[in-house]
Structure 1
Amino acid sequence: MELLAGYAPLQLAAALFAALGSAFVRGLTGFGMAILLVPILALAVAPLDAVLLANFLSVFIGLSEIRRLLRGAERSAWIIIALVAVTTPVGLYLLSTTTPAIARVIIAFVALSAFVAILLPRRGALEHHVATTGGVGVLSGLLTGYAGMPGPPVVPYYVGRDISRETAKASMLLIFTCASACGLASGAVIGVLDPRQALLALLLFPAVLLGNWLGDKASGHIADRSWRICVGVVLGGAAVAALWKAFG
């Protein structure tokens, strides 16, 4: 418990509720945990701590369902994962050299960009071109390191295409799990990983498991069109909240 002495009770409570709510959204939509969790945590703890804490939680929950993700993911996910592994350290290094105030603003605009992208018309084969896939991988890696959010390029890439919901969800979640692992490895390499982050993540993990389970149950009872609407609503709400808190 001494490792958590640096966190105030209000910070811990905010982290708990943010973990539960963001995990519910993850189970419902197949993404959203980092997009919702990082901006909220960044108001209670340093942005770097928020990013690494979100990475720990993403890895924990991803490993708990890794077999399902491996079975359902599209092959393009592995191309994106490889590029994320290369570019994540660059993003994390940039974050470590940025002041917290500027980092919070940039993280807020990252959330906004995902909402704008999801509003674009649904795409077909062109969106699956190798150059597009490569661009998504590079951007996702940079954002994984800088904002703990691999989702803004990845979500429109999969949700905006004519593929099944389960394929989209499995592909996104596999990428997010691997991206978060890259983020933690990069943090260890550059010396910014803190044992307190891992301990706090372990304490929050039961809330993440519960929220994810509830969201996954709810997802099975909604139509595909409604699911895509939920995706847009989640991204829009996260963007507005992040911007308001960043400039408030």
Structure 2
Amino acid sequence: MDLLAGYDPVQLGIALFAALGSAFIRGLTGFGMAILLVPILALALTPVDAVLLANFLSIFIGLSEIVRLVRGAERSAWIISAIVLATAPFGFLALAWTSPDVARFVIAMIAFSAFLAVLLPRRPAAQPGAVTTGGVGILSGLMTGYAGMPGPPVVPYYVGRDLPRETAKASMMLIFTFAPFAGLITGGTLGVLDWGLSLLAACLFPAVLLGNWLGNHASGRVSDPTWRSIVGIVLASAAVAAFVRLV
């Protein structure tokens, strides 16, 4: 437990609350863990530590259900995941060179942009062209590195189309499982990765598993229109929470 000595009870309490709540939203909507987790963790940790801790937790929960995700995801999820892994280091470099106040402002704007994007009109279920898919991958990679949030471009890409809910959820979750690896590798390369965060993530993981299970259970009880409305509410709440931190 020596590795946790650097975190006071308030920080640990905020992290536990954020892990449980964000994992519930992940299970319910298929996304939202990083979008909600990073701004809340940034209340108690530095932006870099908040992003890296979210990366650990996203990998842990994604790998715990990887078989289901691989089986249900759209082919585009693999393409976007590969692009994210290639471009995320550039976003993390920008985070490492940015002051905490500027980083928190950018993270808030990223959360707000996701809310605006999901309000756009629904599109056909057919997979968009290579340019659109590639652009989503690049933006998602940069946001993964900078804010630990691959979701803002990815969520509208899937939720904004007439895809079956489970296909959209599995596709998003698969991307969110692979994306954090880039952040951890880059953080280790730059020497800013505190391995104590991995122990903290392991301690928080039972709360993540519980929250994710509860969210999945709740997801099966809501209609598709209700699910899409919840997606919008989650994104709006994340944006509000991030801007409150700036004030």
Shorter-normalised TM range: over 0.9
Question: Which residue in 1 is equivalent to 2:78?
Answer: 78
The residue type equivalent to 1:236 in the other structure is A
Question: Which residue in 2 is equivalent to 1:96?
Answer: 96
What pairs up with 1:42-191 in 2 under 5 angstroms? 42-124=42-124, 128-191=128-191
Give per-residue Cα distances to partners, 1:148-199, cap 9 Å, x unaligned.
0000000000000011000000000000000012211221222221111101
TM-score computed with the length of structure 1 as normaliser: 0.98
Give per-residue Cα distances to partners, 1:96-137, cap 9 Å, x unaligned.
010111101110110000000000000126761111000000
**Contact 2:18/2:37 (8 A) holds in 1:** yes
Give per-residue Cα distances to partners, 1:67-115, cap 9 Å, x unaligned.
0000000000111011101100000011001011110111011000000
Change (3 A) 1:157 1:86: same
Q: CA deviation at 1:5?
A: 1.3
The answer to whether structure 1 residue 242 and structure 2 residue 242 are counterparts is yes
Count how many residue pairs are aligned between Structure 1 and Structure 2. 247
Give SS of 2:19's match: helix
Q: CA deviation at 1:8?
A: 1.0
Gaps of 5+ in 2: none
The residue type equivalent to 1:68 in the other structure is R
The residue type equivalent to 1:81 in the other structure is S
Q: CA deviation at 1:2?
A: 1.4
What pairs up with 1:195-234 in 2 under 5 angstroms? 195-234=195-234
**Contact 2:76/2:127 (8 A) holds in 1:** no
TM-score computed with the length of structure 2 as normaliser: 0.98
**Contact 2:125/2:163 (8 A) holds in 1:** no
Identity level (%) = 69
Runs of 4+ aligned structure 1 residues displaced above 2 Å come to: none
- Whole-Å separation in 2 of the counterparts to 1:3 and 1:98: 26
**Contact 1:22/1:33 (8 A) holds in 2:** yes
- Whole-Å separation in 1 of the counterparts to 2:171 and 2:189: 27
The residue type equivalent to 1:78 in the other structure is W
- Whole-Å separation in 1 of the counterparts to 2:22 and 2:235: 12
Question: Which residue in 2 is equivalent to 1:36?
Answer: 36
Give per-residue Cα distances to partners, 1:187-246, cap 9 Å, x unaligned.
122222111110110000000000000000000011111100000000011111111112
**Contact 1:127/1:157 (8 A) holds in 2:** no
The residue type equivalent to 1:148 in the other structure is G
Tell me how large the CA RMSD over aligned residues is: 1.0
The residue type equivalent to 2:93 in the other structure is Y
The residue type equivalent to 1:156 in the other structure is P
Give SS of 1:221's match: coil
Gaps of 5+ in 1: none
- Whole-Å separation in 2 of the counterparts to 1:125 and 1:12: 42
